[in-house]
A and B are shown apart, each in its own frame.
Chain A
Amino acid sequence: MFTDDAGKGGIAAGGPGNSENSARRTGGDLVQLITPAGERISHPEFDPWLQDVSDEQLCSLYEDMVVIRRIDAEATALQRQGELALWPPLLGQEAAQIGSARTLREDDFVFPSYRDNGVAYCRGVKPEDLVRAWRGNASAGWNPFTVNVATQQIIIGSQSLHATGYAMGIQNDGADCVAVAYFGDGATSEGDVNEAMVFAASFQAPVVFICQNNHWAISEPVRLQSHIHLADRASGFGIPSMRVDGNDVLAVMAATRIALDRARHGGGPTFIEAVTYRMGPHTTADDPTRYRDANELEDWAAKDPISRMKSLLDRKGLLTADLEAAVAAKADAVAKELRAGTINMPEPQPLDIFKHVYSTPNSWLDRQQDHYSRYLASFGDPAEAASEEGAR
């Protein structure tokens, strides 16, 4: 079940429903609909795509952003407490992920990177599944087909091609769903992302490229990846693009709707650059104080996506004590579920190592599994033997 379609008022629908209403923009000025102070700015091109967003939906967008930030904090704490081996925080990127993911239809298919936990959460991935791979209990957290989200990609930019291929399949099927690739600013330097844009443009595949420009690829600043705005690269491929404030949930939402609508109606791919900032480290193993200025962090803290949404709600008289209490309670409950799910996660068994390498029997691997079973059995207790081996 998808959270957006189910309980949150069908944000996936909406918009003028006519891709012709939107010019095929290429890059251009940064689109912002909510200022850092929470003021709603009107925009003739983007506003029509938000007319159906009700007060209730604004509150639920706020809730999702708060909840995913809480999941992020809880997972970081779990890592510090030794319950996770590693965690890639999304702190600061909540609007870019929630704003885009909440616009998707159930039959759209997402190809995310390892940092896109907010996207996965919106699609119905369970909290403990978000950390399963980071605990070392599996290589990935979930079955892609139950939530229409591929497993989170670690090879930078690789998934952009998978999304494009999936979109070519959609085209062949005559369906009107869309494939969505999420990647970061660093990925735009990878050959795969550039090849994905070539294929998407040539076949006019129904794919949306959502680039979260969080300004840092581990220690490398975005200026090392590109001399021009990332959105401006798309025009070289003949792909329309938009450059939006990625800390503004409504701007991201409108841009994604424009792109999805174009893809559904045969208009081909779109590239969205959501300009945001990675407030935390690359992962819990990283130390950003070695490479970036504290002032920069302060500047971006003032543009925080959740505080500006909170200010917007306040200006609209929606930020009631009841809402705040309900959102806090939800965040607490999800964090609790994440912690319990993590700690109680069943341990994998030694011979699971051989499972699913192939879907058909394989004589090489079957022999190795047989030999390792015998080895483990020679200790009496296989689990004990394996843990002793691992400790050496």
Chain B
Amino acid sequence: MTQMTFARAINSGLRKSLENDPKVILMGEDIGALGGVFRVTDGLQKDFGKHRVVDTPLAESGIMGTAVGLAYRGYRPVVEIQFDGFIYPAFDQIVSQVAKTHYRTQGAVKMPITVRVPFGGGIGSPEHHSESPEAYFTHTSGLRVVSPSSPQDAYTMIQQAISCDDPVLYFEPKRRYHDKGDVDETLDPGSALPLEKARVITDGRDVTLVAYGPLVKTARDAAIAAADEGISIEVIDLRSLAPVDYAAVEASVRKTGRLVITHEAGQSGGLGAEVAASITERCFYYLEAAPVRVTGFDVPYPYSKLEMHHLPSLDRILDGVDRALGRPNSLSGLEG
């Protein structure tokens, strides 16, 4: 076990992948000498060369489209999109090419591309640097979408994503980059928890709280706080956003009868809606109350002095937990 930051854990996982497979190639803006604006690729160009760790021109569609061509040639490109809000110029290549080429060619051409996206807010950034665009991609068939929440998962899941023959969007919770945790670098990604599986973070009896990425820590803190009041929360870290491991969520909800989902992205059409609907379909008769969503608002990501109103906080999550439990909460007395 080694103590390291979240960012360092991704770096270490990337290094492992570069060592293990000569076809792995990193591409992105400022990922070489600078090591990326968050230093996630620090030192990799120096150790693996400019042909394995490629600083690209500033053109996101260009990066994604050339990654498609490299995949045709047998490479496993790992693309860094510098910030969540910069992914949109690459949207066409991701949706029309990366996601569909395997289907289009009836399985002849694989697209083993990993797209790393620092996402989410909470770091006081200007516009376009704090977004949560994951639902655009979970709605796109042909893609896998994942988000690690701990240094250990960051280390393991980046390697699993790179070795996956399908394209994977790997959303990195940027406000957790400097959080430290134990990482077992001897853990074989092949024998670790599979990429598409959710993980129960804390066991609980009264309510199931589903989170992913940056809010897993907040959800865990909420569970600890609730325990002081005698409320037992089961926290599930989804890890995989497409597909969602519904079997894991369902098993928990059958036990607790109550479901709260939290994410930073806006509510309408978000992943929380999908989880709420799917769990309602699967185990309606086990639910004691309507599922509750605690999410960002349907607003453009706000200027930083207001972002803490937008981001689900420990107290807002607990307010949602109270609602699911039928306890007094901020919406008590409101119908619908």
Q: Which of B240-275 contact A (CB under 8 A)?
A: 242-247
Residue among A109, A167, A170, A172 with the highest chain B CB neighbour number at 10 A? A172
Min CB distance, B31 to chain A, in Å?
A: 15
Query: A356 to B105, alpha carbons, bound, how many Å?
Result: 8
Query: A151 to B100, alpha carbons, bound, how many Å?
Result: 12
CB atoms of B92 and A155 under 8 A apart = yes
CB atoms of A357 and B142 under 8 A apart = yes
CB atoms of B103 and A144 under 8 A apart = no
CB atoms of A198 and B59 under 8 A apart = yes
Q: Which of B36-53 contact A (CB under 8 A)?
A: 51
Residue of B nearest to A165 (CB): B69
Q: Does chain B have a CB within 8 A of A161?
A: yes
Min CB distance, B85 to chain A, in Å?
A: 18
Min CB distance, B286 to chain A, in Å?
A: 19
17 new A-B contacts at CB < 8 Å, known A143-B105, A165-B65, A365-B243: A109-B72, A139-B103, A143-B108, A144-B105, A155-B97, A162-B72, A162-B97, A165-B70, A168-B70, A169-B72, A169-B74, A172-B75, A192-B62, A198-B57, A359-B107, A362-B196, A362-B243
CB atoms of A172 and B25 under 8 A apart = yes
- Which of A138, A143, A164, A364 contacts B69 (CB under 8 A)? A164
CB atoms of A162 and B68 under 8 A apart = yes
CB atoms of A166 and B166 under 8 A apart = no
Q: Does chain A have a CB within 8 A of B19?
A: no
- Which of B166, B242, B246 contacts A360 (CB under 8 A)? B166
A155-B97, A166-B73 given as contacts; is B51 within 8 A of A172 (CB)?
yes
Min CB distance, A360 to chain B, in Å?
A: 6
CB atoms of A164 and B108 under 8 A apart = no
Query: A357 to B100, alpha carbons, bound, how many Å?
Result: 7
CB atoms of B102 and A169 under 8 A apart = no
Q: Does chain A have a CB within 8 A of B61?
A: yes
Q: Does chain A have a CB within 8 A of B106?
A: yes
- Which of B25, B56, B246 contacts A363 (CB under 8 A)? B246
A192-B61, A359-B110 given as contacts; is B103 within 8 A of A165 (CB)?
no
Query: A151 to B102, alpha carbons, bound, how many Å?
Result: 11
CB atoms of A138 and B106 under 8 A apart = yes
CB atoms of B69 and A161 under 8 A apart = yes
Q: Which residues of A contact B141 (CB under 8 A)?
A: 357, 365
Q: Which residues of B contact A360 (CB under 8 A)?
A: 164-166
Q: Does chain B have a CB within 8 A of A20?
A: no
Q: Does chain B have a CB within 8 A of A28?
A: no
Q: What count of chain A residues pass the 8 Å CB interface test?
A: 44
Query: A50 to B218, alpha carbons, bound, how many Å?
Result: 71
Task: Give B residues with C-beta under 8 Å from A.
Answer: 25, 51, 56-57, 59, 61-62, 64-75, 77, 89, 92-93, 96-97, 100, 102-110, 141-142, 144, 164-166, 196, 242-247
CB atoms of A191 and B105 under 8 A apart = no
Query: A138 to B105, alpha carbons, bound, how many Å?
Result: 9
A359-B107, A360-B166 given as contacts; is B96 within 8 A of A155 (CB)?
yes
CB atoms of A151 and B104 under 8 A apart = yes
Chain A binding surface, main DSSP class: helix
Residue of B nearest to A170 (CB): B73
Min CB distance, A363 to chain B, in Å?
A: 5
> Please, what's the 1-or-0 string for A171-214, where 1 marks a CB less than 8 Å from any CB in chain B?
11100000100000000000110011011001000000000000
Min CB distance, A170 to chain B, in Å?
A: 7
Q: Which residues of B contact A166 (CB under 8 A)?
A: 69-70, 72-73
Q: Which residues of A contact B71 (CB under 8 A)?
A: 165
- Which of B108, B142, B166 contacts A145 (CB under 8 A)? B108
A139-B104, A145-B108, A192-B65 given as contacts; is B166 within 8 A of A358 (CB)?
yes
Min CB distance, A130 to chain B, in Å?
A: 16
Residue of A nearest to B243 (CB): A364
Q: Which residues of B contact A111 (CB under 8 A)?
A: 69
Min CB distance, A288 to chain B, in Å?
A: 27
Q: Which residues of B contact A365 (CB under 8 A)?
A: 141, 243
Query: A355 to B106, alpha carbons, bound, how many Å?
Result: 7
Q: Which residues of B contact A139 (CB under 8 A)?
A: 100, 103-104, 106
Query: A171 to B50, alpha carbons, bound, how many Å?
Result: 12
Q: Which residues of A contact B93 (CB under 8 A)?
A: 158, 161, 192
Query: A139 to B97, alpha carbons, bound, how many Å?
Result: 13
CB atoms of B97 and A165 under 8 A apart = no
The list of the 3 closest CB pairs from A to B, nearest first, reads A165-B69, A161-B65, A169-B73
- Which of B59, B62, B103 contacts A357 (CB under 8 A)? B103
- Which of A145, A163, A179, A196 contacts B62 (CB under 8 A)? A196
A165-B67, A358-B142 given as contacts; is B196 within 8 A of A363 (CB)?
yes
